[in-house]
Amino acid sequence: MKPNVLEILRDLNFTEYEAKAYVTLLESSPLSGYAVSLNSGVPRSKIYEVLLGMVHRGDIMVSQDNTPLYVPLPPHELIAQRKRKAEQIFNVAQETLEQYTASSQNRENIWNISGYEAIISRIQEGIKGAKHRILMEIWKEDAEVFRAALEQVAREGVEIFIVAYGDLNFEFATIYHHDMSEEITSEIGGRWIVLSVDDREVVAGILSLGDDSRAAWTMHPGLVMPITEVIIHDVYIMEIMYEFREELEAKFGPNLIHLRNKFAMGPNGKGYYVPLPEKKA
By three-state DSSP, how is residue 197 classified? strand
Q: How far apart are CA 12 and CA 6, in angstroms?
A: 10
Q: Where in the chain is the domain with CATH 1.10.10.10?
A: 3-73
Check residue 185 and give its pLDDT: 55
Comparing CA positions, the residue from 95, 101, 113 lying closest to residue 218 is 113
| Tens of each residue's pLDDT in the chain, 281 residues | 455 888 888 888 899 999 999 999 999 889 999 999 999 999 999 999 999 999 988 889 998 878 889 999 899 998 998 888 888 888 888 777 766 655 555 666 888 898 889 999 999 999 999 999 999 999 988 999 999 999 999 999 999 999 998 888 999 999 998 866 555 555 555 788 999 999 999 999 988 888 888 899 998 888 999 999 999 998 998 899 889 989 988 998 887 878 877 777 655 555 555 555 555 55
Q: Where in the chain is the domain with CATH 3.30.870.10?
A: 110-269
Residues contacting 65, CB < 8 A, separation 6+: none
Fold adopted by 110-269: Endonuclease; Chain A (3.30.870)
Fold adopted by 3-73: Arc Repressor Mutant, subunit A (1.10.10)
Q: How far apart are CA 229 and CA 205, in angstroms?
A: 16
